[in-house]
Amino acid sequence: MLGAETLSISSVTALETKIVLFARFGLVAVGLFEELLENAEIVVVPFDDEMARLAFDAFRRQGRPALLSISTYRLMAHSKGDANRDPDVVAGHRQRDPLELLRTEDAARYERESAVARAVIDEALAAAARYDENRSAFASPLAGVPGAIKDNMCLVGAPNTCGSKILADWKPPYNATVVNAILDAGSVILGKTNLDEFAMGSSTENSAFKVTSNPWDLSRVPGGSSGGSAAAVAAGAAFWALGSDTGGSIRQPAAFCGLVGLKPTYGRVSRYGLVAYASSLDQIGPLTRDVRDAALVMNLLAAHDPLDSTSWPEPAPDYTKSLVNDVSGMTIGVPKEFFGQGVEEDVASAVWAAIRLLEQKGARVKEISMPNVEYALPVYYIIAPAEASSNLARYDGVRYGHRTEMQCDHVAMFEQTRAEGFGAEVKQRIMIGTYALSAGYYDAYYLKAQQVRTLLRRDFDSAFESCDLLITPTAPTTAFRIGERSSDPFQMKLSDVCTIPVNLAGIPGMSVPCGFSNGLPVGMQLLGPAFGEETLFRAAYTFEQSTDYHLARPDLRPCGESH
Q: Which residues are known catalytic residues?
A: 150, 225, 249
Is cis: bond before 225, omega within 30 of 0?
yes
C-alpha 325/C-alpha 335 separation (Å) is: 24
- Containing 522, the helix (H) or strand (E) segment is strand 520-527
Phi and psi, residue 212, nearest 5°: -90, 140
Angle between helices 177-184 and 291-301 (to 10 degrees): 110
| Exposure string for 487-496, b = 16+ CB within 10 A, e = fewer | eeeeebbbbb
Nearest to 348 by CA among 542, 150, 514, 510: 514
Question: Which amino acid, one-letter code, is at 159?
Answer: P
C-alpha 312/C-alpha 44 separation (Å) is: 36
CB 332 within 8 A of CB 355: yes
C-alpha 465/C-alpha 456 separation (Å) is: 15
Measured CA to CA in angstroms, residue 470 lies from 25, 238, 301, 349, 459 at distances of 39, 30, 24, 16, 12
Nearest to 453 by CA among 510, 392, 381, 525: 381
CB 152 within 8 A of CB 198: yes
- Containing 388, the helix (H) or strand (E) segment is helix 376-391
C-alpha 88/C-alpha 177 separation (Å) is: 44
Strand, coil or helix: what is 384? helix
User: Residue 115: CB partners within 8 Å, gap ≥ 6?
Assistant: 158, 159, 169, 171
Nearest to 161 by CA among 428, 422, 427: 422
Cα dihedral angle (553, 558, 561, 563), rounded to 10 degrees?
-10
CB 273 within 8 A of CB 178: yes
Angle between helices 345-360 and 533-545 (to 10 degrees): 90
Angle between helices 376-391 and 424-437 (to 10 degrees): 100
DSSP assignment of 159-206, as one string? ---TT-GGGTT---SS--HHHHHHHHTT-EEEEEE--SGGG--SSSTT
Q: What's the angle, vertex CA 91, arms to CA 87 and CA 95, rounded to 5?
A: 170
Phi and psi, residue 221, nearest 5°: -80, 155
In 459-519, where do the E strands start and end?
469-473, 509-517
